Chains A and B, each alone.
Chain A
C-alpha cells in the first residue's frame, strides 16, 4: 500500500518528483555493492567498554591498586569507578547513536550535558567520604603539581586507543553533528580511563583530581570536538 501523497490537506498541493528513470540515480542501480550494516550503537559502545576494561586491567596490573581500598566500604571504594564506567559507556553509546541519522538527535544536547553533570556530581559525592576517611600513601598525594603527571599519563594510555576506535566508528557512520559525536567520544574515553585510574591513584587533594584526572577528561572531550569537526562530511 502506497501512502497517499496526492491528497491536499489544508489546501496544500503535493508536488510530484521527476520519474526515477529521468534522474541521475539510474546509474546507482548498477553500482550497488553489498554493504554490511553497522552494528547497533549499544553493541559498539559495549565493545569499546570491554576494550577499556581490558586496558584498565593491564594498567592496574602494571602499576598497583591503591592501598586504601580495603579500608572503606565497598561502595565507597569501587562505587565512583563503577559510576564512571557506566557514565563513560553511556557517553560512548550516545556518540554512536549520534553517528547514525535519525537515531541520536532525540538525546538533545541539553539532556546529554545534564546527564554528564549528574554523573560527575554523583561520582564526586560518592568519592568524598573516601577522601575524608582514607589513609593515603602513594605517588601523587595531595598535590596539584607535576606529581599528577603519572596519573594523566596512565589515563591517556588507556583513553587514546578507545578514543581512536570511537572516532573510527563515528567516521564509519554518518554523524549529523560530528562535533557533538566526537566530543561525546572524548568524554566517554576519558571517563572510562579515569574509572580505572581511580582504583590506582590514592590522591586526596581535590585539586589533584580536578587538574590531572578531570582535566584529562576535559582535554579528551575538547579534542573529540575538534577532531569531530574535521571528520569528512558524508
Chain B
C-alpha cells in the first residue's frame, strides 16, 4: 500500500474514533512537519512545541479532513497556519539559532563532522537569505519530502509556481554559497 493511501486510511480510522492510530500518524508525518516548522521559526524548542500544537489542531479539526483527498497536504496546511500564527504572535519572522537546532549525527571522524556542520550552517544561512515564498517551497519539497502537487496545495499556488520557486531557490542558494566555496578553494 502506498504511503499516501495508508495515511488516508489512518485518518479515516481516526475520524471513526480509533485513537490508537494517532501514534502512527505522528511517526509518519511529524518529522516532515517539524523540519518544515523549524525553518519558519528557527528555534528547536519552539518548533517542537508547535509540532504538538499542530497535532492538537489536527485532533480538533479532524472532521474537516475529506476521506477521498490526500491527508499530507491537509496536515501541512494546518502546520503552516500554526507556524504563521506563532510568528505573528512573536512579532518577527525568524530567529537564527543554528547552533543548537540540530541533533548531531554520530561520525567516526571529528574533522569530517566539523566540516559537515559548517557546510550545513552555510546552507541554512543561505536558506534564510531566500525570499519567504521560495524558502517555503524549497523546504516543503526538498526537506519535508512533499511532492510538487502536495506543496502546491499547502501553499495555495499552482504546481508551476511551486516549480518556479524551487528552481529560483536552488539558483539563489548556489549563488549565495559560491563566494564561500571560492574562498574555500583559494
Contact = CB atoms under 8 A, between A and B. Distances in A.
Interface of A: 1-6, 8-18, 20-21, 23-25, 28-38, 40, 99-108, 172-174, 176, 234
Please classify how large the interface on chain B is, using the bins under 10, 10 to 19, 20 to 34, 35 or more: 35 or more
Contact of B143 (A14, A99, A102): A14
Q: Which 6 A-B pairs have the closest CB atoms?
A: A105-B156, A102-B77, A32-B19, A34-B17, A29-B19, A5-B31
B23 interface: yes
Contact of A14 (B35, B48, B78): B35
Given A20-B30, A34-B15, 13 more contacts: A4-B145, A9-B142, A12-B143, A15-B38, A16-B103, A17-B31, A23-B55, A32-B19, A35-B63, A100-B64, A102-B154, A108-B156, A173-B61
A25 B22 contact: yes
Nearest to B26: A20
B92 interface: no
Interface in B84-111: 101-103, 105
B5 to A, nearest CB: 11
26 contacts: A4-B145, A5-B31, A11-B119, A11-B123, A12-B120, A12-B123, A13-B103, A13-B105, A16-B34, A16-B103, A17-B31, A20-B23, A28-B22, A32-B59, A33-B17, A34-B17, A35-B15, A38-B64, A40-B66, A100-B66, A101-B81, A102-B153, A103-B74, A108-B157, A173-B64, A234-B61
A2 B124 CA distance: 25
Given A3-B145, A5-B32, A15-B44, A176 B81 contact: yes
A99 B64 CA distance: 9
A25 B56 contact: yes
